[in-house]
Structure 1
Amino acid sequence: MTSAEVARWLRVDKSTVCRWRMSGMGPRVTWVSPSLPRYARSDVEEWLAGVAA
């Protein structure tokens, strides 16, 4: 998933996803290239379950 897709799914701004990523507090990210982050849906779901607990 792209940052924009994650943001839409979680109903937050794309900049929030970026801020989480940069602070290390967001879901696990895979870098396809130095400027192309991608998220696995399962990683986002796992992260969401952890922060909701």
Structure 2
Amino acid sequence: MTSQDLGQELAEIRALVVRTNTPEVLTPREAADFLSVTDETLFRWRKDGVGPKYSQPNSRIVRYLRDDLISWMKEYQ
């Protein structure tokens, strides 16, 4: 097994752990990991108004609810 293969396998295991142990309220980075997209994609979706629902209590904080992400994924599978 090469180091690249090992890195890929570790990334897959990490993604599985994130999905199975996801907190109720997620940061944008956690939400992006949960959805298997980049932070930039999630940011673009917010700006374009096409992504999952989110809460922005002030200009610096964005949070996602896990249930909203799951609902959004089911709607757009």
* Shared fold (TM-score, shorter chain, > 0.5): yes
Tell which structure's C-alpha radius of gyration is larger. Answer: 2
- Residues 1:24 and 2:49 are matched in the alignment: yes
What displacement does 1:33 show?
Answer: 1.5
TM-score (norm: length of structure 2): 0.64
The percent identity for this pair of structures is 33
- For residues 11 and 43 of structure 1, the distance between their equivalents in structure 2, rounded to whole angstroms, comes to 15
Q: Give the match for residue 76 of structure 2.
A: 51
Alignment RMSD: 0.8
Structure 1 residue runs of 5 or longer lacking an equivalent are none
- For residues 46 and 74 of structure 2, the distance between their equivalents in structure 1, rounded to whole angstroms, comes to 17
Runs of 4+ in 1 over 4 A off after TM superposition: none
Structure 2 residue runs of 5 or longer lacking an equivalent are 1-25
TM-score (norm: length of structure 1): 0.89
Q: 2:73 corresponds to which letter in structure 1?
A: L
